[in-house]
């Protein structure tokens, strides 16, 4: 459990978590919550295959200008509420490898990402299990996908690249290869 691990560490400007072994972690909820001066964070090697909660994970990380979550395996995640809430300096975000088939809670996921212009997503980002989506995109004034941001349309119905705010990007072939390799390694050990 890494929930709230760095919660409220608002004086941190950088943090090296690149060598964390996270393969057995089940909760990363609020892990970097309120780290508002953190301007550098490398979570690109996090093994998230067993994580079920990412709610508020980067909430309030208002100084981050980029965030690489492309390697995140989200197939077991059920909660993403507030995950990027208040990440006001992110301009683009690539969640094209996110598999959200089991996510039931996406409320406030991108709220107040006021400079976020592009969210890359693939066919694996679905909202079929999601029952909580209140104000998912509220305050994302610069967000443009197929349609530009509309303050009256901020729920899960806009979480797509055919009629919503996402920009299509095919899921990475390399990512699928890594997942398959990891799966094979798990079964042989």
- Kindly give the confidence (pLDDT) of every residue in the chain, 189 residues in length, as a single tens digit, with 9 standing for 90 and above: 999 999 999 999 999 999 999 999 999 999 999 999 999 999 999 999 999 999 999 999 999 999 999 999 999 999 999 999 999 999 999 999 999 999 999 999 999 999 999 999 999 999 999 999 889 999 999 999 999 999 999 999 999 999 999 999 986 554 555 555 556 666 655
Query: Which tokens is 15 given?
Result: 């943090």
Report how far apart the first and last C-alpha atoms of the chain are (Å, whole number): 23
Residue 132 bridge partners (DSSP): 105
> According to the model, what pLDDT value does residue 174 have?
47
Q: Quick one: which of 90, 83, 103, 21 has its CA closest to 62?
A: 90
Q: Residue 175 and residue 189: Cα distance in Å, rounded?
A: 21
Query: Which tokens is 88 given?
Result: 């006001």
Q: Quick one: which of 124, 189, 185, 112 has its CA closest to 159?
A: 124
- As a residue count, the chain comes to 189
In the sheet that holds 118-121, the strands lie side by side as 92-94, 118-121, 166-168
Q: Residue 160 and residue 122: Cα distance in Å, rounded?
A: 8
Residue 166 bridge partners (DSSP): 119
CB count within 10 Å of CB 99 equals 19
């Amino acid at each position: 459990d890494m929930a709230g691990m760095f919660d409220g560490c608002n004086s941190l400007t950088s943090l090296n978590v690149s060598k964390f072994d996270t393969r057995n972690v089940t909760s990363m909820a609020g892990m970097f919550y309120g780290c508002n001066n953190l301007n550098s964070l490398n979570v690109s090697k996090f093994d998230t295959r067993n994580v079920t909660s990412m709610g508020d994970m980067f909430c309030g990380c208002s100084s981050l200008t980029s965030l690489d979550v492309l390697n995140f395996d989200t197939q077991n995640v059920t909660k993403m509420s507030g995950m990027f809430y208040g990440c006001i300096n992110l301009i683009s975000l690539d969640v094209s490898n996110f598999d959200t088939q089991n996510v039931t809670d996406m409320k406030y996921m991108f709220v107040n990402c006021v400079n976020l212009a592009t969210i890359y997503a693939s066919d694996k980002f679905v909202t079929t299990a999601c029952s909580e989506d209140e104000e998912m995109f509220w305050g994302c004034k610069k967000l443009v996908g197929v349609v530009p941001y509309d303050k009256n349309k901020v729920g899960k119905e806009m979480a797509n690249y055919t009629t919503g705010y996402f920009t299509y990007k095919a899921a990475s072939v390399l990512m699928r290869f890594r997942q398959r390799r990891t799966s094979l390694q798990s079964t042989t050990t």
